[in-house]
Amino acid sequence: MREEADVVVIGGGVTGCGIAYNLAKKGLTDVIVLERQVPCVGASGRCGGGIRQQFTTDANITLAMESVRLFEQLSVELDTDIEYEQGGYLIIAYEDEVDQFKRNVRLQNSLGLESRFITPEEAREIVPLLNIDPIAGATFCQTDGHANPFRVVHGYARKAQKMGVEISKFTAVTGIVVEDGQIRAVKTDKGTIKTNTVVNAAGAYSRDIASMVGVSLPNKPYRHEILVTEPVEHVLDPMVISFKTGVYFSQQKHGPIIGGIGDPEEPSSYNISASLRFMKRMARTVVELVPAFGHLNVLRQWAGLYDVTPDAQPVLGWTEGVDQFCQANGYSGHGFMIAPKVTELIAELIVDGKPSMPIDDLNLKRFEGEITGEAYVVG
């Protein structure tokens, strides 16, 4: 492991590896990524792989739209098939959601996103197996979709390594040395690395990293569970989700249905065990929407952590009080889908001093004032 680096990135998920790749692409290759286990072992490797642009805040919609533009070329850029498919996102609307969803579509349209409100019958044309009896409509955006998170993270990591970045696995950060508000070094269980720039991309553990230098993040960890079925023939184009029930599911390129459901009673914790309660709630909700899926065999269930902020938007950029300490966390369950743009912007912030799109509204400072948040969180 190197003893000195221009930039130390903490966390080997899609954000950490993506930032390392984008720094190297801009010519800054003296970078080390510290990963406590192996890349993609945390939330990035546990998520459903969905890529959605239908959000309710300007920041999330814009970051997601810009990310889709980058996802569209990522297989070529990273020399690996990221299994990207634009089958759309179908957001189920129940009766009491219709008016709000129509307003959300107007906001999305005003930012250039081609989402639309559709009837139950139109929804069934997109998903022929869908039971439309309980639904009042849906919103749909064809350019939403999904990709394989393993391929994306490993793609970023490999390409970054080829350009000179070091990825140090099984390396846990134990402390950050700060003198007079300046970062001097990062301490790990494998030795100390001299640096003056640190990126905090540790997902749900980012608040622990920040607290090492006395910075308090409002982020909280929440378990979210997910399951995968046996692979079957192609029957489902879009990701289907509902904010009312918290369910989401899609069919991956090699055949399995993968999906999860949020649980309003889940307390904040670092628990990532799998529960029977989830399995029952998920099965009931999915089988009501797509009765034919009752026949699918479940192969496996697991869980991961959402790193949730008070407004469900990420914490990005420099930190007051500690120079050159960059936050890239707090994704609240949608880090994978906005990673391509976010990681590019963070690299621009570090190398050029200024990102090509303003991210000031996403700075940690915003939690000092009044908060207006993202309403569309699922899973």
Which residues contact another protein (rule: CB under 8 A)? 37-41, 45, 150, 154, 158, 228-231, 254, 274, 276, 279-280, 282-284, 286-287, 293-302
Could you tell me which residues come within 8 angstroms of residue 1 by beta carbon, excluding any fewer than 6 positions away? 32, 166, 168, 171, 188, 190, 191, 193
Q: 35: which 2 tokens?
A: 């990963």
The neighbouring-strand residues paired with 250 are 258
Q: How far is the CB of 224 from another protein (least distance, A)?
A: 15
Q: Please identify, using beta-carbon distances, which residue of 235 and 287 lies nearer to another protein.
A: 287
**Dist CA 13 CA 168 (whole Å):** 13
Q: How far is the CB of 88 from another protein (least distance, A)?
A: 23
- Given a contact cutoff of 8 angstroms between Cβ atoms, the answer to whether 369 and 47 are in contact is no
Q: How far is the CB of 203 from another protein (least distance, A)?
A: 16
Q: Please identify, using beta-carbon distances, which residue of 296 and 347 lies nearer to another protein.
A: 296
Could you give the dihedral angle defined by the CA atoms of residues 334, 340, 345 and 350, in that order, rounded to the nearest 10 degrees? 110
Q: 172: which 2 tokens?
A: 């846990």
Could you tell me which residues come within 8 angstroms of residue 50 by beta carbon, excluding any fewer than 6 positions away? 89, 144, 145, 146, 239, 241, 248, 250, 336, 337
- Euclidean distance between the first and final Cα of the chain, in Å? 38
Q: Please identify, using beta-carbon distances, which residue of 167 and 198 lies nearer to another protein.
A: 167
Q: Of the candidates 348, 280, 337, 357, which has an alpha carbon nearest to the alpha carbon of residue 44?
A: 337
Q: How far is the CB of 162 from another protein (least distance, A)?
A: 11
Q: Please identify, using beta-carbon distances, which residue of 117 and 150 lies nearer to another protein.
A: 150
Q: Please identify, using beta-carbon distances, which residue of 214 and 255 lies nearer to another protein.
A: 255
Locus of tokens 């599911």: 249
Q: Please identify, using beta-carbon distances, which residue of 188 and 252 lies nearer to another protein.
A: 252
Question: If you write DSSP's letter for every residue of 215-241 in order, what string do you get?
Answer: PPP--EEEEEEEEEEEE-S----SEEE
Q: 264: which 2 tokens?
A: 């309003």
Q: How far is the CB of 129 from another protein (least distance, A)?
A: 13
- Given a contact cutoff of 8 angstroms between Cβ atoms, the answer to whether 105 and 139 are in contact is yes
Helix (H) or strand (E) run with residue 118 in it: strand 116-118
Supply the angle between the helices 149-162 and 335-352 in degrees, to the nearest 10: 20
Amino acid at 127: V
Q: How far is the CB of 182 from another protein (least distance, A)?
A: 34
Q: Please identify, using beta-carbon distances, which residue of 226 and 350 lies nearer to another protein.
A: 226
DSSP state of 78: T
Q: Please identify, using beta-carbon distances, which residue of 259 and 335 lies nearer to another protein.
A: 259
**Dist CA 166 CA 354 (whole Å):** 25
Q: How far is the CB of 39 from another protein (least distance, A)?
A: 8
Kindly report the length of the chain: 379
**Dist CA 47 CA 258 (whole Å):** 10
Q: Please identify, using beta-carbon distances, which residue of 67 and 148 lies nearer to another protein.
A: 148
Q: How far is the CB of 201 from another protein (least distance, A)?
A: 18
Q: Please identify, using beta-carbon distances, which residue of 286 and 345 lies nearer to another protein.
A: 286
Q: How far is the CB of 131 from another protein (least distance, A)?
A: 13
Q: How far is the CB of 194 from another protein (least distance, A)?
A: 25
